[in-house]
Amino acid sequence: MASPETSNKKLIAGLLGIFLGWAGVHKFYLGMPKPGVIELLLSLLCGIGGILGFIEGILYLMCDDDKNLSVNNTSFSENNDGSRQLE
C-alpha cells in the first residue's frame, strides 16, 4: 500500500501534468529537469508537449504502482530523496 506522501505526490504530479503539462511542470516537480525542458521545448516549437503532458498526467493518476512507472520499456524509479531516475 502506498504511503500518503507518495499518494499526494502522485496526485499533484498528475494534476500538474493535466493542467500545466504543456510546460513540463510535472516533470520538474518529480525531479526530472531534462525531460521537463524537452517537453517545454516541444510545446513551444511544435505544440506536441501539451498533449504529452496531458497523457502523462492521466497515466500518473491511473498508475497503480507508486514507485515505478514503465513507459515503452523505459523504467523510472524513485530514489530515497524523492527524485526519479532512469533505470
Arithmetic mean of pLDDT, 73-77: 50
- pTM, two decimal places: 0.71
Residue 86 has phi, psi (to 5 degrees) of -80, 130
**What are 44's three cell numbers?**
513551444
How many whole angstroms separate alpha carbon 67 and alpha carbon 11? 13
pLDDT, tens digit, 9 for 90 and up, residues 30-69: 999 999 999 999 999 998 888 999 999 999 999 875 555 5
3-state secondary structure of 84: strand
Q: Is 45 left (phi over 0), alpha (psi -120 to 50) or beta?
A: alpha
Spans of all domains in the chain:
4-86
